[in-house]
Amino acid sequence: MIDTARGIVWLSRARLVRGAIAAAAASFALATGVAAPERRYTIAFANATEEPGVSVEGTGFTGAEIRQSFVLAARTLPIDLVFYDNHGDDARAIANAEAAIARKVDLYVQYHLGSTGNAAVAQRLKAAGIPMLAVNEAVPGTPLYTLDNAAAGRIAGEALAQFAGRTWAGQPTVAVVIGRVSTNTERVQGVAEALRKRLRNLRVAMLETQGNPAQVAPLLGPLLAAQPTSKLLIAATDDATALAAKAAVEAAGRARDVAIVGHGVDRSIHGGANDHKELDPTNRASIVLGSVAFYLDRMGYQVLPLALRMLHGEAVPARTATPHKLITPANVFAEYPPYDMN
């Protein structure tokens, strides 16, 4: 393995031999005019958890949706997939890696939140000469594909601050971050940083729901009551919380005083042309301005091309981040084309 300033190139002995064979085959094809069949690779994806109903990364997405994104992305790539479920457990993660080594996979995509387990997995794969690509938690010496929670939070904060500047300039305004606040610190800090950059002296309150949308109204209600003449900017750490916040604000009769931005863009907040969910081109007057896309349902489309580049011996960045983006009623169908029409 060679570390460079720009990226990491995996060149184990086995890969060097494979590369030499591929080069020889290419030369033969050029000389004879006969195209060699495209080499297929076996890539293992060890998912963080696929426990039904368990959401990941403080969003509304599940492990099953992430797995499905790999299945869909692999359709047009020379890749055969092998799936494992780490179940959020170090021992399970290590056992999965050992099973993949025994199966002689070409590359291992490790999505596990646990540094001890990740280090053990990396050590075993390195010994077996199998390259590894880490997801959402950095592992030393391994390329990383990751969410950028701080960037996502800044996008949300910027959207709220811009709205306040356009619509409520000079009026008393407060902000609140609500949801899984304590476990999404980078996301929350990103929101606060962007809000304060544009709206100096803005008070930013934190309301912890521990991921329970039913807690939103009891927490938000008193805040709304205590601020009868203020405008309120709400950054929700996930979409279910954003929708619960909207309901609470409407129940309090304060819809004209509030703007909300969520995080995730899961299926609870957007859907097809006939679903008419919150983020919909026909719903541009919503107090939910938008949500920051995390694309966990498209992770496979981002990760598998990176994995292929590694297998082809190309340099890949040490860290590749999700290109987070604010999704609004104006761009939701461009970004997530509906397919419930024909």
Q: Which of 22, 72, 151, 206 binds another protein (CB under 8 A)?
A: 72
User: Does residue 261 contact residue 234 with C-beta atoms inside 8 Å?
Assistant: yes
Q: Which is nearer to another protein, 76 or 201 (CB)?
A: 76
Nearest to 248 by CA among 204, 215, 291: 215
Closer of 161 and 296 to another protein (Cβ):
296
Q: Under the criterion CB under 8 A, does residue 301 sit at the interface with another protein?
A: yes
What is the smallest separation between the CB atom of 297 and another protein, expressed in angstroms? Answer: 8
Q: What is the DSSP string of 300-318?
A: HHHHHHHHHHHHTT--B-S
Indicate the residue among 97 and 296 with the shorter CB distance to another protein.
Answer: 296
What is the distance between the alpha carbons of residues 169 and 162, in angstroms, rounded to a whole number? 10
Instruction: Considering the complex, state which of residue 72 and residue 315 has its C-beta at the smaller distance from another protein.
Output: 72
Are the beta carbons of 168 and 231 closer than 8 angstroms? Answer: yes
* Window 253 to 282, contacts with another protein (CB under 8 A): 272-275
76 makes contact with another protein (CB under 8 A): yes
Q: 193-232: which residues touch another protein (CB under 8 A)?
A: none
Residue selected from 4, 52, 75, 140 as contacting another protein according to rule CB under 8 A: 75
Check binding of 82 to another protein (CB under 8 A).
no
Phi-psi region of 247 (alpha: psi -120 to 50; beta: other; left: phi over 0): alpha
In the bound complex, what is the minimum distance in angstroms from residue 158's beta carbon to another protein?
A: 23
Catalogue the E-assigned strands of the chain: 2-3, 8-9, 41-47, 79-85, 107-111, 132-135, 144-146, 173-179, 203-208, 231-236, 258-264, 288-293, 319-321, 325-327
Under the criterion CB under 8 A, does residue 71 sit at the interface with another protein?
A: yes
Closest CB 168 distance from another protein, rounded Å: 31
Evaluate whether 116 touches 90 at the Cβ level (below 8 Å): yes
- State the residues that interact with another protein by CB under 8 A: 71-72, 75-76, 272-275, 298, 301, 333, 335-342
